Amino acid sequence: MSSWSVLSVAVPLGLGLYASFGALRSGASEWHTRLRKPRYNPPHAALMPLFALIFTLEGIAAFLVSNEMMLARHTPEFVAVRAGQLGLGFYWLQLTFIIFWPALLAFGPSLKLALANITVAMLFQLAAMVEFFRLTISGGMMMMLCFFAISTLTAWNAALIQARSGILPL
């Protein structure tokens, strides 16, 4: 296993868990219990393993794409380099936004700001997923799983806003 493969998984996982641990640790769960939540609210303890899975899959997908970009085994070299650069650029942008979402959700000024943050992250993730699919099916599929998970978290964030305003039945 190369040092790049270890870094491509360790960096997103480490950054993501470090950023989300402060907002999601059991001692800081008061914000979660005070929220007015919809009926289909996930348990607080399920959020940290979900983040670990998302960041691990994204790191593996980034490794697969960067590996294909360098070797260009299955795609023409120009397409591989262009799609790889775009895909990895979108990947790092969405990762930056996702890292700040748990803190915005827990300690931020409003749930709406957290929703805007994760929506932007989801759009960058969609763009990265499209470029990853241009290079490698397995990298694109991993990003698609992460996209569905982030979409679910985005819908949950929106439901929290609606539950707080009394629009949704609890």
Sign of CA dihedral 2, 100, 165, 170: positive
Residue 1 has a pLDDT of 47
Q: Rounded to an integer, what is the distance from CA 16 to the centroid of its chain?
A: 9
Residue 141 has a pLDDT of 92
Residue 125 has a pLDDT of 93
Residue 121 has a pLDDT of 93
- Low pLDDT (below 70) residues in the chain: 1-8, 19-35, 38, 40, 44-45, 72-80, 107-109, 165-170
Residue 44 has a pLDDT of 67
The runs of H, that is alpha helices, within 72-136 are: 77-107, 111-135
Residue 170 has a pLDDT of 43
